[in-house]
Amino acid sequence: GENVEQHPSTLSVQEGDSAVIKCTYSDSASNYFPWYKQELGKGPQLIIDIRSNVGEKKDQRIAVTLNKTAKHFSLHITETQPEDSAVYFCAASKGTNAGKSTFGDGTTLTVKP
């Protein structure tokens, strides 16, 4: 089955700096890669996603890149703000009805004011 590894497990940056979180996946058939943000006491919420026919996607301060050959994808947050502090999860899945997504173990991001 699919295996998703996420690094780093914790990340601390100064406000205004950039943050990068990386994930690798094992199943070359995976074609959908979402990123979720989980704030304390809440369920995860989708912040951005990318499909395998696209190499990069950007939404304001957040961007995701995908390298299908190397089977890795990354989340980039620029101009970080204290409210970006949360746990971030990457995931990989394939096909509309092909079953569950596989999640990474999460990265705890702390943005210091």
Residues that bind other proteins (CB under 8 A): 31-32, 34, 36, 41-46, 49, 51, 89, 93-106
Minimal distance, residue 16 CB to other proteins, in Å: 27
Minimal distance, residue 42 CB to other proteins, in Å: 6
Minimal distance, residue 97 CB to other proteins, in Å: 5
Name the residue nearer to other proteins (CB basis): 74 or 89: 89
Tell me the three-class secondary structure of 50-70, residue by residue: EECCCCEEEECCEEEEEECCC
Interatomic CA distance for residues 1 and 79, integer angstroms:
37
Q: Please answer whether residues 108 and 82 qualify as being in contact, where contact means their C-beta atoms are separated by less than 8 angstroms.
A: no
